[in-house]
Amino acid sequence: MYYTINLKTNKRIESVDITRKINEIISKSKLSSGICMVYSPHTTSGIIINESYDPSVLEDITTFLSDKVPHNIDYKHIEGNSDAHIKSSIVGTSKIIIFENGELLLGTWQGVFFMEFDGPRSRKVFVKLIKE
């Protein structure tokens, strides 16, 4: 069984902290420890783990990706979102995270983020829990 997080993004490039939603899923599952897989089934988005305390870190990440992979250059794919596909490939669409005592085992400042590269859109994130 898997769980679904439904998101509505508001910008073309945006980061959405989904840590709390994942921890809620773990809590409701009544599982104490295991592995949590977080997966985005979209080709123009990604999942990252990074600092959740200082929002400028995520701004730096999106700025870096936008500088290195610009939106409007002469891409072969002509739908206008080629850069989003490339950014998704760079950051990846899934993460595997240990959970213990009913919550994600993250560092003090870490959070799990859905990265939107072709918004605004309605999106899904799938969460699979595997008990220890």
- Integer-rounded Cα Rg, in Å, for the chain is 15
**pLDDT on residue 78:** 85
Domain ranges of the chain: 2-131
**pLDDT on residue 96:** 99
Prediction pTM value: 0.95
Q: What class does CATH assign to 2-131?
A: mainly beta
pLDDT in tens, 45-84: 999 999 999 999 999 999 999 999 999 888 888 888 999 9
- What are phi and psi for residue 97, nearest 5 degrees? -130, 135
Q: Do the Cβ atoms of 104 and 32 come closer than 8 Å?
A: no
pLDDT higher than threshold 90 for residue 1: no
Position 19 confidence tier, pLDDT thresholds 50, 70, 90: very high
% of residues, the chain, pLDDT over 90: 92
Q: Do the Cβ atoms of 24 and 125 come closer than 8 Å?
A: no
**pLDDT on residue 42:** 98
